[in-house]
Amino acid sequence: MSQSHLPYRRPAELVEAGLIDAAALAAVEQAATAFPLLLPRQLAALIDPADPADPIARQFVPQAEEMEIRPEDRADPIGDQTYSPQAGIVHRYPDRVLLTPLLTCAAHCRFCFRRTRVGDTAAAMSPAEIDAALAYIAARPEVREVVITGGDPLMLGPRRIGLLLAALAGIAHLDVVRFHTRLPVVAPDRIDAAMVAALCPPPQAGFSVWLAVQINHARELAPATAQALARLTDTGLPLLAQTVLLKGVNDSAATLEALFRALVRQRVRPYYLHHPDLAPGTGHFRPSLAEGRALMRTLRGRLSGIALPTYVLDIPGGFGKVPVGPDYWDEDSLTVTDPSGRRHSRPQG
């Protein structure tokens, strides 16, 4: 039987497909033991095998550099475990909680900050754990927003998403339910009519549903992805984009500019540009904070405000996400720097 619809899971298949050289196979196999290869064929079809620096290949094809564990790398880079009061809940900010119904994805991003846990099918929450998580949220009126993440929560499929939203609709103090997903990019066909309908808030819900789509390069906005995003926005769901700043993928002003322009054209608001977390074996993806700040400064001079995300760092250890500049106002000299780098004095008051 033909397996041509199944995602690539074995590095040897990448050799057969002409996506890696046979000489690279041993290293790719080794990298894939730490975090398995998972690459849908439709996504792999976007890779230009003639381009050794292809931004899609770099995000999804295991690399020898992943075997390099740096002293600063950590298994739990943003302190998920520290702030998890019970299975499937991370509660770090008073007004919002993360809910992680499963830890599987349709594709494995090599830079994943949860790469030590993602892919574990046994980590899916049981119905009893889901009930306990809902009870946790229901008991805390200060929680106004539930961020459903994972893994990729859209892997739940329309039926279970519908059930989850119906259960959340019974909690009166929620303003927003937000899904964090990469499915529109890595498996756009799964954003079908049933999925779109399932994501709409049930009539009795007091909350709206937002989607935050993870996307790092304009090349990921292939026609199938653009259509998937349009199906979501046409229904009235507000869409945000989260981008990870990745060395060798999007660490240039021109690349980020093209991505952010394409997103706003597509009715998706760039929300965060994330500085990469200290996940083990991802050091080769990390630019310096100074490089990220310089890129943001350049973009501020070039791009519309609606196309500019906030550049954020999740402080290692679980201390929270904060903007990391660049700064324009200097308190000591009472000067403000314009987008082209010139300083101007502005009396306070």
Ligand X SMILES: *Cc1c(COP(=O)(O)O)cnc(C)c1O
Point out the residue whose Cβ comes nearest to ligand X.
92
92 binds ligand X (CB under 6 A): yes
| Cα 349 to Cα 342: distance, rounded to the nearest angstrom | 21
The reply, when asked if residue 200 is annotated as ligand binding, is: no
The reply, when asked if residue 112 is annotated as ligand binding, is: yes
Which listed residue (58, 110, 114, 190) is catalytic?
114
Q: Which is nearer to ligand X, 32 or 78 (CB)?
A: 78
| Cα 327 to Cα 268: distance, rounded to the nearest angstrom | 26
Residues 6 or more apart whose CB falls under 8 angstroms from that of 52 comprise: none
> How many residues of this chain interact with ligand X, rule: CB under 6 A?
9
Region of 8-16, 87-95, 187-195, 298-306 interacting with ligand X (CB under 6 A):
87-95
Q: Which is nearer to ligand X, 44 or 98 (CB)?
A: 98
> Quick one: tokens of 180?
């964090």
Q: Which is nearer to ligand X, 144 or 284 (CB)?
A: 144
Q: What is the largest CA-CA distance in the chain?
A: 74
Q: Which residues face 90 on adjacent strands?
A: 98
> Quick one: tokens of 130?
């889901």
CB of 85 to ligand X, least distance (A): 12
The reply, when asked if residue 109 is annotated as ligand binding, is: yes
Which listed residue (73, 74, 83, 93) is catalytic?
93
Residues 36-75, one symbol each (x = binds ligand X by CB under 6 A, - = not), give ----------------------------------------
244 binds ligand X (CB under 6 A): no
115 binds ligand X (CB under 6 A): no
Cβ pair 215, 252 in contact under 8 A: no
Region of 66-74, 86-94, 130-138, 334-342 interacting with ligand X (CB under 6 A):
86-94
CB of 347 to ligand X, least distance (A): 33
Which listed residue (96, 110, 178, 219) is catalytic?
96
Residues 6 or more apart whose CB falls under 8 angstroms from that of 259 comprise: 215, 216, 217, 218, 221, 243, 250, 270
98 binds ligand X (CB under 6 A): yes
CB atoms within 10 A of CB 288: 11
Which residue from 89, 147, 186, 187 is in contact with ligand X, where contact means CB under 6 A? Answer: 147
CB atoms within 10 A of CB 19: 20
3 state DSSP class of 344: strand
- Residue 192 phi, psi (nearest 5): -95, -175
Exposed/middle/buried for residue 77 (C-beta within 10 Å: 0-12, 13-18, 19+): buried
Annotated active-site residue 112? The verdict is yes
Which residue from 41, 293, 302, 321 is in contact with ligand X, where contact means CB under 6 A? Answer: 321
158 binds ligand X (CB under 6 A): no
Cβ pair 270, 216 in contact under 8 A: no
Catalytically active residues, by annotation: 92-93, 96, 105, 109, 112, 114, 277, 314, 321
